[in-house]
Chain A
Amino acid sequence: MPIKSYLAHPHEGKKAHLIEALKSLEYCEVIPAENKDLLIVVTDTHTREQEDHLKEKIESIASLKLLAMVSGFNTK
């Protein structure tokens, strides 16, 4: 049951779009910075396959410039 956190950098002017796109994904929580163009993304999935699938979906969002993993845990 993986839990991972990422830093997500939006393309210029696309922060709001990226927030909305991430919020629409299941198993995905987003915490936007108040004063910088940066979001924290936390994924909380049941399996590794589900996690990989979710990551692919995140990376395909057009407003995402860069996704960098910060920490990863597996609670199983």
Chain B
Amino acid sequence: MNKPLNMYTSLTNRRSFIKKMAIMSAMTAAASMFPGILFADEQERNLPKSGNLDWKKAPCRFCGVGCGVLVGIEAGKAVAVKGDPKSPVNKGLCCVKGYHSVLALYGKDRLTKPLVKKNGKYVETSMEEALDLVASKMKETIKDHGKDAVSIYGSGQWTIPDGYAASKLFKGCIGTNNVEANARLCMASAVTGFLTSFGIDEPMGCYEDIDHADVFVLWGNNMAEMHPVLFSRLLDQRLKRGVKIIDFATRTTRTSMAADKSILFLPQTDLAVANAICYEIINNGWANKSFYEKHCNFKKGLTNMGYGLEDNYAFKDKPEAISFEDYKAFLEDYTPEKVEKISGVSAKDIKYMAAYYGDPNKKVMSLWCMGMNQHSRGTWINNLVYNIHLLTGKISTPGNSPFSLTGQPSACGTVREVGTLTHKLPHGVVMNKAHREFAAKIWDVPVENIPAKPTYHTVEMFRALDRGDIRFMWIQVTNPMVTMPKLKRYRDGAKKEGRFIVVSDIYPTPTTDIADVILPSAMWIEREGLFGNSERRTQHFEQMVEPPGEAMSDTWQLVEVAKRMGYEKQFYYNEDSHVEEIYTEYRRHHDNKKHNMAPLEVLKSQPGAMWPYVDGKSTKWRFNAKYDPACSNGEDFHFYGKPDGKAIIWQRPYEPAAEEPDTEYPYWLNTGRVVEHWHTGSMTRRIPVLHKAMPHAYVELNPGDAKRLQIRTGDKVKLTTRRGEIILPASINQRGVPAPMQVFVPFFDENMLINDITLDSFCPISKEPDYKKCAVKVEKV
């Protein structure tokens, strides 16, 4: 039922549409060359002329940057978007997706009525009946197969109230930890990186670091396409202050082209390079001894952990204290000259990067996203970049900032802070008795309801669905039938007899194709909600327009089902005021100096606030006593996430990827995103300008490889891995240029599902899959 992206009929004039596209293409190109460039006349001209436009503030619906936008409402319809000049995030700027975001509300094939599959066909039904069916099926599954046979899978696009209602229903009321979200696929390694190094999640710094740093090192992070507004801020600082931007990546991208220096490394070897930088820092006497002696411990963990390729894979690290001398001896294996041979990065370039980190007069910001997180040693590489900042003491001060960026509007706010992962609670983890008691008290449920053991992380949850250990899955606001690695297994598993799948979404997708019940959801400003961005900023948006047909917010769907299952006492919320009631209740979980959330009235009055919000103020730099009221050790810095107040410098070695090129599959396959489309494209592909600008996926080849294989742009290319094969058009010397013997494919196109052939290996600590590396054969068709 998916596929038709028929959105052109609303356009009255094809020629004027094409002209607009031509202008938009030029504006996009100009924006990537000149940060902060404004075409006010053009933007103004595109706005409706009526004086009745009512501008309301919201965080952007797309990536995790959390730009503030102003949405123009006219006669009950969202008709225009402009950047919010009051937002400290984007300072009035928007990227192409943001400017067109409201068009995603009005695609021709919006889901407006619940659909129930009967005899293989979808039949329209009322929302009341559909919600009755969902509740009764869940109860029936629990009765027949137990609590752990039901599950919910959400995302970093869940608003805070959505995720909170899901966690309370499943963990608190039903009594299963089968709660996961797609942020497991993009941010889990960042979380375990923070937890292992600092004992507490999320960046210590904020976007204001950009205004103070002298050097930016981008670790496998194509910011020009993935976080264009933030990248504009970097470029702006280069114009104003001459800062340096170093792009350290496996592929040449728009970011590389705009950077001062582009350094390419072989996939997976960032682990070795990070260790080599630490070797250089210590060997040259650049380490900040007083800082690491006062504020850090040294530890090592288990190695050769495997890659999670087998069902029911389990791993538990065993940290062990080591001395600085032990660590120094370990780094002897990572001299720049030795690492050059593993990584393909010259010793000179390693020393170049190390010299910036080691220079006491340079403030350095490290930025990363999927390159480091979707990594079979994702936790380790996060640890290793923190090591660099901890060894030099370049952390938690303005401009000295290791900064993990997010990909979704509320990956932080909902998945990480509300805790919609199997092991998490809004405050703490299910394994901790005190944390369970604390949550149970606020949720008004018996503490025995909350199981002490986590169940399935995302990959294992879909494996459990395939095996039949899970029988019921409710999927909200995400599209796993495009995003799961080794997708075919999980698609086939979801379609097996005896599985019942509910999907809440706004458009038909490959995931609604596997549903037994499809619930139409209200999108973004069609309901009230809150998102939390990468810099710990929580932002509120009000309902601005009515959702179409019977579409309903994901929060209220959950509340209605909870009531039907007998949890009226816990889900006491009123339809008119439930977002305020839920947020007020949620704040109780974080009522402490380390994580206090701003009151709703504050969030309504300004473009968000950063937690910990203490005494009416956001905290910009955590762990620094000058800025963070939670510091209490009497020192300048206090890493209070760890019991002894010290951060950890981890000894983590280089280990190869789960699957590396060989004679049969001689190329690396890397997957990722493009600037025009947001993730699986289910929204942005329904925005005509964006769809036309990037209509389908492709495979990028290195020009030398393409020449040897006699492949030109547009030729059909077959990619084959041990999981299957796919045919894509070739792209050579266009958007990005892979290194020799590597190919890149974006994953936004549901008609060319690259994840059918990717590998479901994952980081054993974070359980986040490595979408960036597997072995592939490349042939001209």
Contact = CB atoms under 8 A, between A and B. Distances in A.
Contacts of A5: 22-23, 25-26
Contacts of A7: 26, 29-30, 33
Contacts, number: 70
Given A33-B30, A33-B34, A42 B23 contact: yes
A73 B18 contact: yes
Contacts of B143: none
A73 B23 contact: no
B366 to A, nearest CB: 29
A34 interface: yes
B41 interface: yes
A40 B36 contact: no
A71 B34 contact: no
A29 to B, nearest CB: 8
Nearest to B38: A34
A62 B392 CA distance: 53
Contact of A44 (B19, B36, B41): B19
Contact of B30 (A3, A38, A71): A38
B22 A4 contact: yes
Contacts of B355: none
Contacts of B38: 33-35
Which of the listed residues A32, A38, A41 has the most CB atoms from chain B within 10 Å of its own CB? A38
B1 interface: no
Contacts of A75: 14-15, 18
Task: Classify chain B's interface size.
Answer: 20 to 34
Contact of B37 (A3, A33, A41): A33
Interface string A50-76: 000000000000000000001111010
Contacts of A35: 36-38
Nearest to A41: B26
Interface in B1-39: 14-15, 18-19, 21-23, 25-27, 29-30, 33-34, 36-39
Contact of B26 (A1, A34, A71): A71
Interface in B442-468: none
Task: Classify chain A's interface size.
Answer: 20 to 34
Contacts of B326: none
Interface string B629-644: 0000000000000000
Which of the listed residues B14, B25, B26, B27 has the most CB atoms from chain A within 10 Å of its own CB? B26
A50 to B, nearest CB: 15
A42 B18 CA distance: 11
B21 A36 contact: no
A32 B39 CA distance: 7
Which of the listed residues A6, A7, A34, A71 has the most CB atoms from chain B within 10 Å of its own CB? A71
Contacts of A38: 30, 33-34, 37
B75 interface: no
Which of the listed residues A33, A38, A42, A73 has the most CB atoms from chain B within 10 Å of its own CB? A33
Contacts of A72: 22
Interface in A7-48: 7, 31-36, 38, 40-42, 44
A3 B15 CA distance: 9
Q: Is the interface of B mostly helix, strand, loop or mixed?
A: helix
Contacts of B27: 40
A50 B64 CA distance: 46
Given A3-B15, A7-B29, A36-B34, A42 B22 contact: yes
B91 to A, nearest CB: 13
Contacts of B25: 5, 70-71
A6 B19 CA distance: 12
B40 to A, nearest CB: 5
Contacts of B21: 71, 73
A38 B38 CA distance: 10
Given A31-B42, A44-B19, A36 B26 contact: no
A70 B39 contact: no
Contacts of B37: 33-36, 38
A71 to B, nearest CB: 4
A16 B586 CA distance: 56
A68 to B, nearest CB: 8
A40 B42 contact: yes
Interface in B28-71: 29-30, 33-34, 36-42
Which of the listed residues A6, A72, A73 has the most CB atoms from chain B within 10 Å of its own CB? A73
Contacts of B14: 75
A56 to B, nearest CB: 20
Given A7-B30, A38-B34, A33 B39 contact: yes
A33 B38 CA distance: 6
Nearest to B19: A3
B532 to A, nearest CB: 31
Contacts of B33: 7, 38
Contacts of A70: 22, 25-26, 29
A6 B25 CA distance: 9
A1 B15 contact: yes
Interface string B349-387: 000000000000000000000000000000000000000
A34 B27 CA distance: 12
A35 B38 CA distance: 6
Given A5-B25, A70-B29, A75-B14, 15 more contacts: A3-B18, A4-B22, A5-B22, A7-B33, A31-B39, A33-B30, A33-B37, A34-B40, A34-B41, A35-B38, A36-B37, A40-B26, A42-B22, A42-B23, A44-B15
5 contacts: A3-B15, A33-B30, A33-B37, A36-B34, A40-B27
Across the A-B interface, the 6 shortest Cβ-Cβ residue pairs? A5-B22, A71-B25, A5-B26, A34-B38, A40-B26, A70-B26
Interface of B: 14-15, 18-19, 21-23, 25-27, 29-30, 33-34, 36-42
Interface of A: 1, 3-7, 31-36, 38, 40-42, 44, 70-73, 75
